[in-house]
Every structure is written in structure tokens, then in C-alpha cells.
Amino acid sequence: MKKQIFLLATMLTLATSCSSYSRKNQKLTLEAKGVIYKILYYASLAGSSHNSQPWKAEVYGEDSILVFADISRKLQVVDPTLRELYISVGAFIENLSRAASYFGYETEIKVHNLSDINGGPVASVTLNKSNEKREETILNDIKLRTTLRILYDTNPIKEADWMTLIAVAPSNIHYFSADSEKGNYIKQKELESYTQQAKNKNAQDELASWIRFSNKDVKEKQDGLTTEGMGIKGIGGFVVRNFFKPGDSKKESFVNQGIDKTKLQVENCGGWLIITQPSENIESWINTGRLYQAMHLKCRKMNIGFHPMNQISEETDFGRKANTFLGLNGQILFIARIGYVKEYPEPVSVRRPVESFTTFK
């Protein structure tokens, strides 16, 4: 018994002393950087699938930025059309626009047509000096936004709160209470589609390539899914960081744990947010990303947890049926689980340095 207590105490000490490497460990001094550099840094705090950060930028002078999609960071298996890659780029653009307004600029954003892409810029951003009074909380909102994979309060979202969220774009954003017929349908189909994807061998390989279990991998890559980002903390986090390899995520026991965790997640929330668009193209994907990021920032201010769960739209057969059952106009492009939380932890997902995705001309 004494030996067991000693081992447990030792593990607790190690778990505390060997904490995970996260964003708080990334030392960054922005004071000496130029305004455009700062804007791009805050833009990069946007959410992205698998924390792949699939964006690039070219800066011309002090007023022009070209935004590119970094196709080398695509998720070929779960995102073959690049829809979610461009949604991630849209979230980056939304953050860029908001950060620019804090630093005294209005942004003119032109999203390019599909025929204009072929490796070219996704969007052109022009910065114009503005005399409008800036919102002082903008940068703090961007810095504190984080995806929460924890269990939420199951109480329905207050009408005033969900109305605030869909007001971002009433024709594109839809809310369903978790205890409604349609909310229960989404819950069921999210679990089923997640399970289907989790057992797909190709999807498992792809996921493993973006997992950063060890602190060494996190520091080197500065992207992907970390233990803390996936909600694996404490002794469990210590064990995974030090004794697991990304390939272990493909083992049946690990896959089943993920399914069990997802079951708890979908059963513990207040409701669901869905973004639809009338058509599928790069412009609609970019717009979806901007709407997603805008809603997420609002959720953070209302102490509402926000967790993108896009398996329904990623698994095509589920997406088509969901569109019919829910009776939505347009295509389902984005789904998020939401619910009230007692406290909002600080974000932990690491970010690549601005220099790694930006060329200053």
C-alpha cells in the first residue's frame, strides 16, 4: 500500500513538473514589431481544422496584404474538396480584419473567384486609415478565443444569447436546442458520423500525422493537436506525452476512448449552431469561416463553450440526410456544439511564427 501511494505521489509530481508545452510557453514580444506584423499575428490565432493553420500571406508596403491557402496543409482524407481548409482561411481573414480595426484601419477585402486561384491569392486585403474609434477589447477577445472540448451545462441557451449569435448572419446561421427533436437528431448523427470517421483507417493515418504528443514535437512543429489541446491533462497527459507515439492513436483502445468521449460531449451541451450557404465554392467557404470566427468570439464573451464538430458534413452520406431532415435552405458547411461553462480556460493551442507563413515584399 505504501509503495502504491509513493508511486502515485511520484506520478503526480512528474505530471506537475513536466507540464505540456503550450501557447503560454511561446515567448513573443510584439512591441518592437511593425503594425502589419502584429495584425498578422492576431490573424493567426484563428481556429483551423486539426490546428493545421493553412494560410500564407504576402505583404506589400504598409497597406496591402495578399492571403493564400497553403494547400500543403490540406486534410486530403476528411476534407478532399478543401472546404474546411478554406473555412479556416476565412477565420484567419476575419481575425485579420478585426485586428486591423484595432490598429486604426478599415479593410477592403476582395475574395477571388475559383478560376483565379491556381496557386494564386485567395483574397486581397487593402488597409485604409480610419478615424473611427476602436473597440479596446478586440485584441483580448482574439487572444482568449479557444475551442473547448469539455462537457458543457445541459441547460438550453437563453433566447437572448442564441439570438445574438444568429444575428451575425440570420440567413446563414441556425440554432437548435439540444433538447429539441432536431437537436437530438444532430446529437445522434454527430456520434454516428464521428464513429464512422474514427474507424476509417485512412482517416486514422491522417489524424496521426497531425498529432503532437511530445513536447519536442510541439516545439518543432508549432501546429497540430497537442495533448492539452485535446483535453488530455494531468497524469493522463503526462503518460501520453512521454510514453505514447502518434501512431498509438490508431489503436482500437484509443479509438474507442475517442468515441466514448464524443458520446459524452454530444450528450452534454445546450444546443447546436449550423452555418449554411446557398452554394459550394471558395467564396462561400471563406464567408463561412468568417461567420464561424465571429460567432466564436461572441460565445467567449457570453461564457458559452464552442466546439466545432463537422463530422456530419465531412461524411457525405450524413450531410445529405441531415440537410433533408433539418429542412435547411442551402448546404450545411459548419456545425458547432455550444453550451454554458463555469469558466473559460486560457487557450493552449500553439501557433507558428508570423515569419513562417508571411513574405514581406
In angstroms, rounded to a whole number, what is the distance separating the alpha carbons of residues 284 and 275? Answer: 11
List the 123-129 sheet strands across, edge first: 105-111, 123-129, 64-69, 55-60, 358-360
CATH of the domain at 359: 3.40.109.10
Q: What percent of the chain lies above the pLDDT cut of 90?
A: 74
On the 0-12 / 13-18 / 19+ scale of CB atoms within 10 A, 60 is middle
The pLDDT of 38-50, averaged and rounded, is: 97
pLDDT, residue 1, reads 53
Whether residue 232 has pLDDT greater than 90: no
The pLDDT of 185-189, averaged and rounded, is: 97
For the chain, the domain total comes to 1
**Domain span holding position 257:** 1-361
pTM for the model stands at 0.92
Q: Beta-carbon neighbour count of residue 45 at 10 Å?
A: 22
At which residue does the C-alpha cell 486591423 appear?
100
The pLDDT tens digits for 333-350 are 999 999 999 988 889 899
The pLDDT tens digits for 140-161 are 999 999 999 999 999 999 999 9
The pLDDT of 267-291, averaged and rounded, is: 96
Q: Are strands 225-226 and 211-212 parallel, antiparallel or unpaired?
A: parallel
Whether residue 2 has pLDDT greater than 80: no
Going by pLDDT thresholds of 50, 70 and 90, the confidence category of residue 10 is very low
Q: What percent of the chain lies above the pLDDT cut of 70?
A: 93
